Amino acid sequence: MRITQSDYENWWNLPVGLEVKAMLNERREKIAHGLGTGEGLFVVQTHGELVGRYREITDLLNMTYQELMGEQ
């Protein structure tokens, strides 16, 4: 399926997009708080998973149209 750049740029402003963005930001903040308070600090696998989840959510929130379409 091919979407337009305009579709992509505007979808965050639709009710579903706003809800998804809020949920992703909430999850990212929860993970950041956990990392900041030492959650998983002494368990390398847990710490690595938290960092990976934080980075993936950040990547999703910052994804460009070109990245979505595999052009970058």
- Backbone phi, psi, residue 11, to 5°: -65, -30
Tokens coding 47: 């710490």
Query: Which domain range does residue 57 map to?
Result: 5-68
pLDDT of 62 above 90: yes
Number of domains in the chain: 1
What pLDDT digit, counting tens, does each position of 3-56 carry? 899 998 898 889 999 999 999 999 999 999 988 888 777 777 788 899 999 999
Q: What is the pLDDT of residue 53?
A: 95
Q: How many Cα atoms within 13 Å fall on the side-chain side of residue 9?
A: 4
Q: Please tell me the distance from the alpha carbon of residue 58 to that of residue 8, in angstroms, as a whole number.
A: 17
Decide: 9 and 65 in contact? Cβ < 8 Å. yes
| The overall pTM is greater than 0.85 | no
